[in-house]
């Protein structure tokens, strides 16, 4: 993304000059509170802005050097980009297998679909065991695995994960973390959008912090993890090492970041 500006309904400026890069084969974390602009940024990348009456007014989005921000969502998926949306969103009345089959709509042959199933089931043995089970009866963690598996059916070059740890128990979050590492090791680049900074910054190599539609911090993950403001607001650790009341200190943080 280069200097991206997004406006909703001709009046609401949601992104203000945001630039972000995911290197080939890398994992990048995007941190931000609710309302910071993370969802708008993802809509701009995936071609879903028009559904929400949004439009890119400045800047560009490119995939492997080719501009994609004027293409529709289906065309962008076919170019090698897939997203797992916040909240998992399985087709609850369909089986696990049918959910995955729906994700493989870009596959050009039965052999390609079969190979995609094999890859997903190898990564998620639990889904293989429950392939005929109705998706709505899976646990939250299993539904998240299904959502990720459905996105992987297209064999994407870039996988976008929107809040994959949301609402999951710590044990399952750790499992999802390992899955992200395994997906990346298989050659897929990952953009990880999270409020759970402690998880995101341990898996990503680089990170960005977005607030009020602007990137206010970026750098290597270890640098962000040790940044006093990031630790205070996203990890809940104050400058003295004590737990912080992050909402009360929002103004002070903004003042420092805007300096």
pLDDT, tens digit, for every residue of 4-21? 999 999 999 999 999 999
In this predicted structure, what is the pLDDT of residue 25?
A: 94
CB-based contact 193:163 (threshold 8 Å): yes
Q: Is residue 160 part of a domain?
A: no
Same domain, yes or no, for 203 and 249?
Answer: no
Same domain, yes or no, for 186 and 63?
Answer: yes
In this predicted structure, what is the pLDDT of residue 244?
A: 41
Q: Is 189 strand, coil or helix?
A: strand
The residue range of the domain holding 140 is 88-155
pLDDT, tens digit, for every residue of 146-168? 999 999 998 999 999 998 888 88
* Average pLDDT rounded to a whole number, residues 96-116: 88
Percentage of residues in the chain having pLDDT higher than 70: 90
In the block, residue with structure tokens 């963690």: 141
CA distance readout (Å), 147 to 69, 82, 109, 140, 143: 24, 11, 22, 11, 6
Same domain, yes or no, for 203 and 255?
Answer: no
Same domain, yes or no, for 183 and 120?
Answer: no
Total domains, the chain: 3
Q: Is residue 161 part of a domain?
A: no
**DSSP state at residue 169:** -
Q: Is residue 206 part of a domain?
A: yes
Q: Is residue 119 part of a domain?
A: yes
Burial bucket for residue 91 (CB in 10 Å: 0-12, 13-18, 19+):
middle
Under the banding of pLDDT at 50, 70 and 90, the label for residue 86 is confident
Same domain, yes or no, for 197 and 255?
Answer: no
> Higher-confidence residue: 88 or 68?
68
């Amino acid at each position: 993304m280069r200097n991206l500006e997004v406006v909703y309904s001709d009046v609401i400026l949601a992104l203000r000059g945001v630039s972000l890069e995911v290197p080939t084969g890398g994992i990048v974390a995007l941190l931000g509170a609710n309302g910071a602009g993370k969802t708008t940024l993802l809509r701009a990348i995936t071609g879903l802005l028009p559904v929400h009456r949004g439009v890119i007014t400045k800047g560009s989005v490119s995939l492997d050097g080719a501009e994609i921000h004027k293409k529709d969502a289906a065309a962008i998926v076919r170019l090698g980009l897939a997203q797992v949306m916040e909240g998992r969103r399985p087709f609850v009345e369909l089986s696990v297998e049918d959910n995955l089959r729906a994700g493989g709509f870009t596959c050009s042959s039965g052999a390609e679909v079969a190979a995609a199933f094999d890859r997903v089931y190898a990564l998620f043995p639990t889904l293989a065991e429950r392939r005929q089970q109705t998706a709505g009866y899976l646990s939250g963690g299993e539904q998240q695995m299904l959502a990720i598996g459905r996105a992987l059916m297209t064999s994407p070059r870039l996988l976008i994960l929107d809040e994959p740890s949301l609402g999951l128990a710590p044990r399952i979050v750790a499992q999802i973390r390992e899955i992200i590492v395994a997906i990346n090791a298989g050659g897929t680049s990952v953009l990880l959008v999270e409020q759970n900074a402690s998880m995101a910054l341990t898996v990503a190599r680089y990170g960005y912090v977005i607030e009020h539609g602007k990137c206010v911090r970026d750098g290597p993950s270890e640098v962000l993890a040790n940044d006093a403001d990031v630790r205070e607001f996203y990890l809940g650790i104050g400058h003295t090492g004590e737990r912080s009341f992050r909402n009360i200190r929002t103004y002070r943080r903004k003042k420092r970041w805007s300096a």
